[in-house]
A and B are shown apart, each in its own frame.
Chain A
């Protein structure tokens, strides 16, 4: 059976007290996490500055990390037709790609099969920007500018009856959009 050979407490500056989770897997094993003994610095790797990190975009749900840019519903509609319609359908009803709108009120079991869409299920608007930016269009991922992604976000949120037709999505307005299912999630206890 397994034994735990190193349970050295490490007091981090952040106030976390972590133990080594790498309990040795077999009696007599000497392999343990070197890092568990002390937060030793090896000096490997290269320091990087903010300029090099600008290539990465990953906004937080409160809007921090959203890049500068803006787009309107009308701009988004045109882009949607060119970039998204083939997979997500003329009415955002889905096809090869996911259905994007509709489905409000279908999540509870008593309403029949759930229809999980951006409109009915996604809790944060920032996620829409983030996902389209990093992974869409499927056949040409990460090819859209920030302005284009804001425009598509505006269009999808408009078609989902979440923002008005004259909405302009940008680094300040997007995170303020409250999604219909914002309060529909709770942390699992497992």
Chain B
């Protein structure tokens, strides 16, 4: 297992030259592409486009005991812009990826409603649709990094977050359709996977901005993202955005399911645990240069990274190249959207000496991304979830970039 862990972030990079990488087809490369005809239209891709055979980035799985209850990381080190390709969106499953025929899928809405109802996918698509670009992040993102730098690449340290355009029906539309009864305070969202994954959601949040999503980046959501229907709970920890959504039960109290009691709760130093720590607070990370990269020689580099906040839009990202002694404002690349990855860059002239690169995000509420030390001082080392501290990358004089803790 240790060997497998050490391989995280490097898998896929050293892919076999002879086999096409996932999502690609190996084509002959002519010496001069201007002297031969290229590949004919719709002759070898079945009508669904492929990426270049030279692009090798893939999701990598964390070596949990089973492949069904496991997670995979988005290769942020290769990310370009703010959108995550659907096939590279991070995954966290508790009972594998369910395979569901959309023509047979139903969403039940019952409990404290005036009229219990069920909706087919065709029913749901008749309602007025809404689209939003939003990030999703697993609250376990970075859980290996509390005590000491552990995983080598930004894929391992931060890869449990991704951004897509999500399209669907506002949950409020469906709750209005069934009609909430007086006293309704929570609802249970239940998935149709083998884990029958469940979370309780406050009614206020459900009515405010939750989405029943069936679309992702211009097509149906991927099986790994809950095809044909997932809940999307903006800005809240990813596991609440229940995939393969099949049921909503309205209640006057939380259901206290396994995931919201024994799992996604944050143990504090005094032995009590924080429950319903929903919000994914402001966070940022430099994706280039980042762990395991090599800067060939001194000179100009554009530092690039991603910032996001569950509270709203990113307002400011500062970058330090001297371990936090001094900070400069990075450029935010628009559109800067609420609850969405925002790309930032900063030009940097590397002098060839050791440097510590850090980024610090401030969101529109004024919340400033803390140091890891500040979080540890407040929460100890056993809370597992919600690590949003400042990431440090050390650039050695040799140009090698590595994951370090630096306060």
Contacts and interface: CB of A to CB of B under 8 A. Distances in A.
Contacts of A58: 188, 190, 198, 249, 255, 257
A186 B267 CA distance: 10
A35 B262 CA distance: 35
A135 B108 contact: no
Interface in A33-48: 33-36, 39-42, 44-48
A171 to B, nearest CB: 16
B234 A21 contact: yes
Interface string A104-117: 00011111011010
B85 to A, nearest CB: 20
A45 B177 contact: yes
Interface in A167-190: 184-188, 190
Interface in A12-56: 12-16, 18-23, 25-26, 31-36, 39-42, 44-49, 52-53, 56
B196 A45 contact: no
Interface of A: 1-2, 12-16, 18-23, 25-26, 31-36, 39-42, 44-49, 52-53, 56, 58-62, 96, 107-111, 113-114, 116, 118, 121-124, 126-127, 130-131, 134-135, 138, 141-142, 184-188, 190
B176 interface: yes
Given A61-B253, A96-B66, A188-B277, 15 more contacts: A18-B204, A22-B130, A33-B173, A45-B117, A58-B257, A61-B254, A108-B270, A109-B382, A122-B261, A122-B262, A131-B258, A135-B94, A141-B195, A186-B272, A186-B275
Contacts of B265: 185
A30 to B, nearest CB: 12
14 contacts: A1-B313, A12-B207, A22-B209, A25-B132, A26-B337, A35-B173, A42-B173, A58-B249, A122-B261, A126-B256, A135-B95, A141-B95, A184-B271, A190-B279
Contacts of A49: 116
- Name the prevailing secondary structure of the A interface residues: loop
Contact of A190 (B110, B115, B278): B278
Given A13-B179, A13-B182, A34-B128, A138 B66 contact: yes
Contact of B253 (A42, A60, A121, A127): A60
Closest 9 pairs between A and B when the two form their complex, measured CB to CB: A21-B209, A108-B271, A21-B208, A188-B277, A107-B271, A34-B128, A134-B196, A188-B274, A35-B173
A14 B181 contact: yes
B118 A45 contact: yes
B69 to A, nearest CB: 8
B256 A26 contact: no
A78 B176 CA distance: 48
Interface in B296-339: 312-313, 335-338
B170 A127 contact: no
B11 interface: no
Nearest to B64: A96
B190 A123 contact: no
A181 to B, nearest CB: 8
Contact of A25 (B133, B184, B273, B382): B133
Give the size category of B's interface with A: 35 or more
Interface of B: 65-66, 68-69, 94-95, 108-110, 115-120, 123-124, 126-128, 130-133, 170, 172-173, 176-177, 179-184, 188, 190, 194-196, 198, 203-204, 207-209, 234, 247, 249, 251, 253-258, 261-262, 265-267, 269-279, 281, 312-313, 335-338, 340, 380-382
A130 B273 contact: no
A25 B335 contact: yes
B337 A185 contact: no
A130 B382 contact: no
A186 to B, nearest CB: 6
B395 to A, nearest CB: 33
A39 B340 CA distance: 28
Contacts of A1: 313, 336
A114 B267 contact: yes
Contacts of B270: 108-109
Nearest to B382: A114
A126 B251 CA distance: 16
A22 B169 CA distance: 12
A145 to B, nearest CB: 16
B255 A61 contact: yes
Contacts of B110: 48, 53
Contact of A33 (B95, B172, B195): B172
B275 A188 contact: yes
Contacts of B277: 188, 190
For A35, A56, A116, A131, which residue has the most chain B Cβ atoms within 10 angstroms?
A35
B337 A123 contact: no
